[in-house]
Chain A
Amino acid sequence: EPEVTQTPSHQVTQMGQEVILRCVPISNHLYFYWYRQILGQKVEFLVSFYNNEISEKSEIFDDQFSVERPDGSNFTLKIRSTKLEDSAMYFCASSEERGDSYNEQFFGPGTRLTVL
């Protein structure tokens, strides 16, 4: 069964450093998402991506964040200058259709980002 994969599973970085989180969505999916979950809190939407551009983003997704689909298979989230409060589990998701459709979003296993 196809699945969303994410690398690395755990990333430790120093405050102020740049990190890139990588995701490989399911191959025939067209919509891609990043979510984050701070320890003990609920999952929060960051950004959605469709047709090689951002389709929607939350207030969390500020200028420090960027997304890219560099090669047609990978989908990346970059945090330019990490802060302590960026420590969280980051989930990538993909779907065949838009979120309001009767269509499942498949989530990856997540990358745990720890900022020291």
Chain B
Amino acid sequence: KNQVEQSPQSLIILEGKNCTLQCNYTVSPFSNLRWYKQDTGRGPVSLTIMTFSENTKSNGRYTATLDADTKQSSLHITASQLSDSASYICVVSLFRDYKLSFGAGTTVTVRA
């Protein structure tokens, strides 16, 4: 079964600090991997999209990495801000598929 697993489930960081979120997937055949940010009660918003040939992708203070050999990805948040408090979801797409497969997300809480 295609799976997308994320860790940790939640974390709390102080404003200005960095953090790294992890994603492991068993989805196959793999097409691309996305990281979404979801604020409470809102729809997911795309942060990055990477294909198997891309190792890293940045979007402002967000940097995603991908190792297609080990099927692992990470999302690094630099110099966190209070507005970064949200759920961060790893999402994988299969080749020749219409749908996206979502992880359960990591809830990040940034405190002043």
Neighbour of B99 across the interface among A41, A56, A91, CB < 8 A: A56
* Binding-face segment, A66-74, A77-85, A97-105: A97-105
Q: How many residues of A contact B (CB 8 A)?
A: 31
A45 in contact with B101 (CB, 8 Å):
yes
- Taking CB atoms, residues of chain B closer than 8 Å to A106 are 46
Given A42-B102, A42-B103, A4-B95 contact (CB < 8 Å): no
Please tell me which one of the listed residues B42, B96, B105 contacts residue A42 in the complex, with CB atoms under 8 A apart: B105
Q: Is B8 an interface residue (CB 8 A)?
A: no
Partner of A45, one of B41, B43, B46, B100: B100
Q: Report the minimal beta-carbon distance from A48 to chain B, rounded to whole angstroms.
A: 4
Chain A residues with Cβ below 8 Å from B72 are none
In the complex, are the beta carbons of B46 and A99 less than 8 A apart? Answer: no
- Across the interface, which residues of B come within 8 angstroms of A99, CB to CB? 31, 93-94, 97-100
Partner of A110 from the list B34, B43, B95 (CB cut-off 8 Å) is B43
Residues of B within 8 A of A102 (CB): 32, 49, 51
Most buried by B among A31, A55, A102: A102
Chain B contributes a number of interface residues (CB within 8 A of A) equal to 25
Given contacts A100-B93, A102-B51, A104-B49, contact A109 B42 (CB under 8 A): yes
Residues of B within 8 A of A112 (CB): 41
Q: A100-B93, A100-B97, A104-B46 are in contact. Are A42 and B104 (CB under 8 A)?
A: yes
B45 at the interface (CB under 8 A from A): yes
Interface residues in B31-80 by Cβ distance below 8 A to A read: 31-32, 34, 41-46, 49, 51
Residues of A within 8 A of B (CB): 4, 31, 33, 35, 41-45, 48, 50, 55-56, 58, 89, 91, 93, 98-110, 112
**A and B contact pairs by CB, cutoff 8 A, 17 listed:** A35-B100, A35-B102, A42-B89, A42-B103, A42-B104, A43-B44, A45-B99, A45-B100, A45-B102, A48-B98, A58-B99, A98-B97, A99-B100, A100-B97, A103-B49, A107-B44, A108-B43
